[in-house]
Amino acid sequence: MADDVKALLIKRYASRRLYNTETSDYVTLEDIARFIREGREVKIVDLKSGDDLTRQYLLQIIAEHESRGENVLPLDVLTDLVRSYTTQAQSVVPQFLAASFEMLREGQSKLMENFAAMPNPMASMPGFEALQRQQQAFLQSMMAGWNATAPDLPAAPAETVSDREELNAIKKQLAELQAKLSKL
Q: Is the pLDDT of residue 127 over 60?
A: yes
| Beta-carbon-side half-sphere exposure of residue 3 (alpha carbons within 13 Å) | 0
Indicate whether 165 belongs to any domain.
no
Q: Is the pLDDT of residue 77 over 50?
A: yes
Give kind and range of the element (H or E) at residue 44: strand 42-46
2 and 67 fall within a common domain:
yes
Q: Is the pLDDT of residue 156 over 60?
A: no
Indicate whether 23 belongs to any domain.
yes
From 72, 106, 134, the end of a domain falls on 72
What is the Cα 27 distance to its own chain's centre? 20
pLDDT above 90 covers a percentage of the chain that reads 27
Interatomic CA distance for residues 44 and 38, integer angstroms = 17
47 and 84 fall within a common domain:
no
pLDDT at 160: 63
What's the predicted TM-score (pTM) here?
Answer: 0.53
Domain that holds residue 103: 73-119
2 and 32 fall within a common domain:
yes
Indicate whether 86 belongs to any domain.
yes
11 pLDDT band, cuts 50/70/90, is very high
Q: Is the pLDDT of residue 75 over 70?
A: yes
pLDDT at 131: 78
Domain count, the chain: 2
Where does residue 14 rank: exposed (0-12), middle (13-18), buried (19+ CB within 10 A)? exposed
pLDDT at 178: 72
Q: Is the pLDDT of residue 64 over 80?
A: yes
**Structural contact between residues 41 and 8, judged by C-beta atoms closer than 8 angstroms:** yes
pLDDT at 74: 84
pLDDT at 34: 93
Interatomic CA distance for residues 102 and 1, integer angstroms = 12
Interatomic CA distance for residues 75 and 66, integer angstroms = 11
Q: Is the pLDDT of residue 122 over 70?
A: no
Indicate whether 79 belongs to any domain.
yes
Give backbone dihedrals phi and psi of 158, rounded to 5 degrees, phi first: -60, 140
